[in-house]
């Protein structure tokens, strides 16, 4: 059986505290990812809202629940979306890990696991490409803009 995992690492010119804010503060997370209502508390449910994909039957909502929370170092949550016309649910888990590299440098690791079965190959490919772009371009730009303003 197919079981894929996305793993991406990126070096960011920011402290773990700053990077953490971009993962757990709803307005900062919206700056580089998508609108959300995250509250960083274990067990808390929240949603991301993106464009719906009518042809795929995707309503644009990604439902999440925080599974693990270790301030400034790790956050893990479920990531679930439904393709209505196929009655197919994507049910994965995302784990973000932050490691201090040096002064004002953080290694951010993303692991999204649970792409099980043939039907999850397309979401896997789409999300892998999206995460690479987001973590190499959008997140660093959002952090740089934020740091320039403070």
15-59 pLDDT per residue, tens: 999 999 999 999 999 999 999 999 999 999 999 998 877 666 677
60 pLDDT band, cuts 50/70/90, is confident
Contacts of 66 (CB under 8 A, 6+ apart): 38, 40, 41, 42, 43, 44, 45, 46, 75, 76, 77
Is the pLDDT at 137 greater than 60, yes or no?
yes
């Amino acid at each position: 059986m197919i079981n894929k995992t996305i793993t991406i690492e990126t070096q960011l010119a920011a402290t773990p505290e700053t990077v953490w804010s971009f993962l757990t503060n709803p307005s900062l997370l919206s700056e580089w990812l998508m609108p959300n209502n995250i509250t960083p508390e274990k067990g808390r449910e929240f949603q991301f809202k993106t464009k719906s994909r009518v042809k795929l039957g995707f309503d644009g909502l990604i439902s999440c629940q925080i599974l693990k929370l270790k301030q400034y170092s790790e956050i893990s949550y479920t990531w679930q979306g439904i393709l209505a016309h196929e009655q197919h649910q994507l049910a994965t888990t995302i784990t973000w890990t932050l490691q201090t590299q040096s002064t004002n440098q953080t290694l951010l690791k993303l692991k999204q696991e649970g792409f099980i079965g043939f039907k999850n190959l397309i979401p896997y490919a789409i999300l892998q490409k999206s995460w690479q772009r987001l973590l190499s371009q959008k997140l660093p730009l959002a952090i740089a803009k934020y740091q320039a303003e403070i």
